[in-house]
Structure 1
């Protein structure tokens, strides 16, 4: 009876009221899965004067997307319309507002990350009803973390597979193109953009540019042009991701696997791996997007990412740190695109993250330049300055969310994914246009920050073998060859020291011994690095090149051994060496001159693959053989001599003999270079 009276009073009060309003409470909450929300979902019914209406019927009903109504309730005379009374989980409940005008229910969230929806229908009369929609986000934090990490890992794996495969297929040709067409800054920019677009790795292009500068194949200004072009080329990845083909991830993987499994050549296998990598990129994007999309209804999550727009420095810093950690700007740009596509971040915040990504990617060049020449470090510095300065002025230009730049980006597409990809492309293209005329100035600034050194002493030579390049065999072989040149230079210094020790008495024998030990350590490190390379997927050319490199390393080590033999021969003569005693001393001096010229030409051949220098080594070796034969004949003629003079002649003969042996090893190296630097299936490289 009381209920009937309350309903009648409610109807009468509503009838006499000019208007009414319904207030909602507890909407847009977030909670852990399978828990009851902290605050109830409630409505409050008021008349036009703001007075609570008691006894108004309110029906709460859940949807099939998860969640159920649970005790306790707020209101009068609850009636379970649908649900399990025993378990306390209901899908529909009818309540009457209390004397404060409130009616509310508790919501138990579902068992997976999703939006749980509840409708509240407020009945004022048979023909008057108002509907209030409630939404609450059920969060499975563990699943979200695992799926984001897993999706990012699959994305990175796809990037790695695609980049490495494309580097294997086209890397050597791209490096050859890079050497040939970087004659000016415009050609260098085009070459850098083309190479990065093909091998899908701006980091790889930058590392190659640094290595070319380090080995003298490219000057600083050319390398800066290549790096600027690489920044443009890397935007291709974002544009590719922006195409809405993530639903085809599995078919793409299947096509790639088929290409790989049924390929008849290793080259086609690598093409298959590249396609599989592309599919994995889209699969990783899908996994991350699926788990992030529901989060856009969470005010807490939205507020967190809104801070990126309100605090640009935070966004740039976050992008920089994340890219520095995972060493892939494409991955962080892809993650930014996923956040934008899920509605968690607006264009301005995404743009700031992209600027941070561009700064963070410079860490790769800085790492590759550690221990390299000053010019190589200047190249890495140019990359950092280029991206950092660009991020500063672009950050200022996009500080106005309704400004020209952001509106221009918005006008290119209505889809957030494409907008972020276009923002990335527009920034790098604009930055290239700004900096290309300033390349000479940027180069001078880098030389000012990292001044050139007049001379580098042999003692300062250190090998820099990049372990992270092993998964990119083309780059790792470049690294190995570059460091092998350092070993050749040090072996040359060792022989020079031995020759000086033999004829002049300095440096001391112990110094030459120490230098030879250092060459031994270089041989060990280079050989270990080469053996690790053998365990990677190599194409045919790389498989044929590595044995020759190892033979060259061994030849260089044997050369330093003969340098020790020279000083040991000198040690058998206790008195000062008389270089005027006979024609033998003249032959020894000529032999030393020839072997030093051969060493110099060999180093040049290894650095620049000069056929002329290699041919000069062979010509000098023929003359050196003649000198060694003449020295033996001269020594035979004076075998009857005794005393100190005889010991000196023997030392001179040994010296000439060791020079000839050094020449043999240098000939091996020269002939391997003239043969294309590849293995021909025989232990005798001569």
Structure 2
């Protein structure tokens, strides 16, 4: 029983070390990874390359596949493109096997693992720069990972000391092809239990090293692990739409098809891997025998055989199936049929779905959140354009269009609420300094966009009131006001463009301030003219008051746009005081 708990503890430490390394790498390279993710759309080959890079960087195929399922669920990634990314993720995860084979078994890191943890902790507590602190966390995770491997090797008993266990395994290992199937099933179950293919690979390599199983049976377990690891994506897709389920199922189909063809060539394929690795070590074998270090060479050869088998299997599987991606897409669409009248997930439903899998994706989620913020800006701009269209048609009953705009305003509120919760969820996890600034910036922008959508809807209700009351004052149709609305629309489009770039230069901000000043002058000029016409009796008081209120709402929209631009440059300044455009006095009505 003590041995069992030691093995469980070693695996727990291994998982924690892997998680710490993955999180640290995401913090260090988060923005670069998000840039890679933006290139995932396109052709399947670009998707393979993206999946390979992201999975290699974060050392977790689960994070990549869950992210892909999320993208498909949101409609940001097509199913055919998603299959390419999943293929790349399968190849990227083989890097973990090489890390374990080379560092955990080839080199004796147990003696330096603890000092690495110590150095990492010193860096974490002593460093002032966040990137250096994050590198310290990476060192801690790296040290813990190989401490765990050392404990695991020591915890698993040598097979020679337990002949009864040897007899038990032999009873299943000499059944020919049936043995391959039995150990393949064991690999599936093992990965299902530990829910991490890296841990399953570490266990498999330890079993080989301790002499529990030979290379052929270990290779069969690796094939099972390739099937078992697909369950993460399957579970992640449970709350998604049909396309999300198809993407997860495509992952499973891709791996199962690969395992099926591999079983037909299993013996010659493992023989080829044997010959390749034996060729690598042929020059070292004589030297190892001379110094009596054959055991180390044997262990190194076995672990490298497994790593090479894992890599070659996934690489060849991609080469074989990459030309059949359209057929694979049709297959999963045939098996998982669309539900009648199924609607694609709304942005706010998608964000809730995304938050449920934040632990798997870490900082990579922020890219998704930023995309939805841009979507919120597009909805607000659409509402303002709807107002100008309705306002310029005072004699037409546009109730249907108004109802549609009301629905957009409700969706804006829901999306803003979901985005706020999403970014709050982000802050509950440790983020890099750059990502923390991104979260703060987006929280400020979301509040501004929500207020802007409220102002736009208020304008729509005023336009509707104008139609009901049949106000015919000529000032409501004046060229000056039409020009004013056009300039506000240009200002909104400029803010939207800067939001897409997620950056604004000092020159752009200065130009925005000049535009804001110009808009304020136009508004004041129109307001004075309206008041003068009311005093002269040329315009009705009620119509004039309604027009002045419209001007006030337009001014607020300009102010919110200016605040968004300032938040892109420095979000913290908006917490210091009233929401006033930079360099501007408090605007008077």
Question: What TM bracket, shorter-length normalisation?
Answer: 0.7 to 0.9
Shift of 1:176: 2.7
Which residue of 2 is the match for residue 631 of structure 1?
Answer: 526
Distance 1:626 1:256 in 2: 63
Task: Classify the secondary structure of the residue corresponding to 1:343.
Answer: coil
Structure 1 residue 407: deviation in Å? 1.4
CA distance in 1, matches of 2:173, 2:448: 60
* 2:355 pairs with one of 466, 486, 500: 466
- Aligned equivalents of 1:458 and 1:190: distance in 2? 28
SS at match of 2:109: helix
Match of 1:424 among 310, 314, 321: 310
In the other structure, the counterpart of 1:334 is 202
Please tell me the root mean square deviation across aligned C-alpha atoms, in Å: 4.6
Aligned-pair CA distance for 1:582: 1.5
Structure 1: any 5+ residue segments left out of the alignment?
A: 1-141
Q: Aligned partners of 1:600 and 1:470: how far apart in 2?
A: 35
Instruction: State the alpha-carbon separation in 1 of the partners of residues 176 and 407 from structure 2.
Output: 57
Following superposition of structure 1 onto structure 2, how do residues 119-518 of structure 1 map, counting pairs within 5 Å? 142-177=1-36, 179=38, 186=45, 188-207=47-66, 224-243=83-102, 244-245=105-106, 247-249=108-110, 251-262=112-123, 263-264=126-127, 265-294=129-158, 297=163, 298=165, 299-300=167-168, 303=171, 310=178, 315-316=183-184, 319-320=187-188, 322-323=190-191, 326-365=194-233, 380=248, 382-398=250-266, 403-411=267-275, 412=277, 415=299, 416-439=302-325, 442=328, 462-464=349-351, 465-470=354-359, 473-492=362-381, 504-507=397-400, 516=409
3-state SS of 1:638 partner: helix
SS at match of 1:538: coil
* 1:345-404 Cα deviation digits (max 9, x unpaired): 444443333233223434444566677788777655554443332223223332xxxx20
Q: C-alpha deviations, 1:165-201, integer Å up to 9, x for none? A: 1121123224335546987655554454344333322
Residue 422 (structure 1) shift: 2.0
Rounded to whole Å, the distance in 1 between the matches of 2:522 and 2:174 is: 81
Find the partner of 1:582 among 470, 474, 479: 474
Tell me by how many angstroms 1:236 deviates.
1.4
Matched-pair contact (CA < 8 Å) for 1:189–1:230: yes
For each residue in 1:79-135, what CA deviation from the matched residue of structure 2 results, as whole angstroms up to 9, or x when unmatched?
A: xxxxxxxxxxxxxxxxxxxxxxxxxxxxxxxxxxxxxxxxxxxxxxxxxxxxxxxxx
Conserved 8 A contact 2:80-2:326: yes
Q: Note the alpha carbon deviations across 1:27-82, whole angstroms, 9 max, x for none.
A: xxxxxxxxxxxxxxxxxxxxxxxxxxxxxxxxxxxxxxxxxxxxxxxxxxxxxxxx
| Residues paired across the two proteins, number | 537
Question: Equivalents in 1 of 2:116, 2:216: separation in Å?
Answer: 37
2:475, 2:530 within 8 Å by CA — same for their partners in 1? no
Residue 541 of structure 1 pairs with residue 427 of structure 2: no
Given that residues 192 and 226 in structure 1 are in contact (C-alpha distance below 8 angstroms), is that contact kept between their aligned partners in structure 2? yes
Corresponding position of 1:551: 444
Tell me the alpha carbon deviations over residues 503-533 of structure 1, each in whole angstroms, 9 at most, x when there is no partner.
Answer: 6452598887776565445434433432343
Q: How far apart, in 1, do the equivalents of 2:20 and 2:463 lie? A: 56
Are the equivalent residues in 2 in contact too, given 1:246–1:282 (CA < 8 A)?
no
CA shift in 2, pair 1:581/1:428, >3 Å? same
Q: TM-score, normalised by structure 2?
A: 0.74
Return the structure number with greater relative CO, CA threshold 8 A, min gap 6: 2
Q: Give the one of 566, 570, 581 matched to 2:459.
A: 566
* Alignment partner, residue 290 of structure 2: none
Query: Whole-Å Cα distance in 2 between the matches of residues 458 and 569 of structure 1?
Result: 32
CA contact (8 A) 1:232 1:429 kept: yes
> How far is the alpha carbon of 1:423 from its aligned partner?
1.7
Cα-to-partner distance string for 1:417-450 (whole Å, 9 max, x where unaligned): 3332222111111112223444565567667768
Structure 1 residue 251: Cα displacement: 1.8
Cα deviation, residue 602, structure 1: 5.2
Aligned residue for 2:284? none
CA distance in 1, matches of 2:537, 2:185: 80
Note the residue ranges of structure 2 that are not aligned, 5 or more in a row: 279-297, 583-589
Q: Distance in 1 between matches of 2:141 and 2:542?
A: 69
Distance change (3 Å), C-alpha of 1:151 and 1:561: same
More helix by share: 2
TM-score by length of structure 1 reads 0.65
Deviates more, 1:235-244 or 1:565-574: 565-574
CA shift, 1:475, in A, is: 1.5
**Any conservation in 2 of the 1:246–1:285 contact (CA below 8 Å)?**
no
Partner Cα separation in structure 1 for residue 552 and residue 40 of structure 2 = 45
